[in-house]
Structure formats: C-alpha cells, structure tokens
Structure 1
Amino acid sequence: MSDEFNPNAPEEFEDDINNLISELNSQFGEGRSRWYYDEPSETLFIELESIARLDDEEIGKKAEPVFDNSELDFEEIVLLPMTD
C-alpha cells in the first residue's frame, strides 16, 4: 500500500463531488446546488434545488443509480432540498 503524497488530492476530491452533483442534476433537472463534507462522520451533504418538490421515494429511485455508478466512498450521502 502506497502512502504517497498527492498534492492534487483536495482538488480531485472536489472535482469528483462536483461531477457527482452534475450527474444528480441531470437526473433531477438543473438548479442550484451546494455541498458540505463532514469529515468526522464521513458524510457528504448535498443540497439540490431540483428535489424540493419530490417525495423521498422518487428521490431514491433517481439517485440510487447515480450513487451506484459513483466511485466515491462516503459513510453516508444525504440529499436535501436547497433552502435559502
């Protein structure tokens, strides 16, 4: 196992998350979004404007294939409707 330092790691991490959000936006429809990563719990919180009017079942059906295809490894990913 290699513990080599990767100076691009933070940027690549953010790029991977932004790509995930782009895929989610293509599933739900475009809109504003933002995210927050809670490092201690390894939880990614994603707020999407486009899910505000959807029920949990519909959100799950559309988000599950995106999460399944993602190579990101979080303890949990939480989708929330975007609030101002």
Structure 2
Amino acid sequence: MPEENESDFEEWIQDVEFLVHTLKESFESTDARYNIDEMNDILYVELEGLDEYSENEIIEIAEPILEVSELNFEDIVLLPLKN
C-alpha cells in the first residue's frame, strides 16, 4: 500500500472490515477473521462454515461481492475458519 496518512489508512481498514463482514453475512458464518499479506498484496478471509459450501456455491456467492469491492488487492482468498 502506498504511503498514506492515518485517516486514509483507517478508512481503508474500515473498507476491509466491511468486506469481511459482508462475506460473513453472505455465507451465514458466525465467525470470521482476516489477515493481510502486505508483501504479496493478498487478503485472506477465514469464514466459519465455508467448508460446507461447494466451490461453485462459493464462487456464486462471493463473486458479486468481490466485483463491487473497491479494494485493490492482488488476490482475495477465502478459507474455512480454523480454530
């Protein structure tokens, strides 16, 4: 992420958290967490219950959400939440 001021960074984090929350609600997950790999510009989103969906169902649910997201990650990876 390029140099930005603190306000821009906080807004960006809020956007990431909104995306994670939207995915959590869409997959009817009770828990979710995320990790940002800044070096590779990848957002990892872990969702409780994701392993109950087929790959096609995951694509069908997540694709429209990710398409409207204004976050510019190289990749966004969805994973089942492991405790």
For Structure 1 versus Structure 2, the TM-score category normalised by the shorter chain is: 0.7 to 0.9
Aligned-pair identity in percent equals 37
SS at match of 1:79: strand
> Structure 1: any 5+ residue segments left out of the alignment?
none
User: 1:67–1:9: structure 2 CA closer, same or farther, 3 Å change rule?
Assistant: same
SS at match of 1:61: helix
Q: Does the 8 Å contact 1:33/1:48 carry over to 2?
A: yes
| Residue-by-residue CA offset, 1:23-57 (whole Å, 9 max, x unaligned) | 11221113111100001110000000031211111
Choose 68-77 or 25-34, whichever is displaced more.
Answer: 25-34
Based on CA coordinates, which of the two structures has the bigger radius of gyration? Answer: 1
Cα distance in 1 for partners of 2:49, 2:21 equals 12
What's the TM-score once normalised by structure 2's chain length?
0.88
Deviation >4 Å, runs of 4+: none
1:6 is displaced (CA, Å) by: 2.2
What's the TM-score once normalised by structure 1's chain length?
0.87
1:17 aligns with 2:12: no
Alignment length (residue pairs): 82
1:59 corresponds to which letter in structure 2?
A: I
Choose 34-43 or 48-57, whichever is displaced more.
Answer: 48-57
User: 1:64–1:9: structure 2 CA closer, same or farther, 3 Å change rule?
Assistant: same
Residue 44 of structure 1 is matched in structure 2 by 43
Cα distance in 1 for partners of 2:41, 2:12 equals 13
RMSD: 1.7
> Structure 2: any 5+ residue segments left out of the alignment?
none
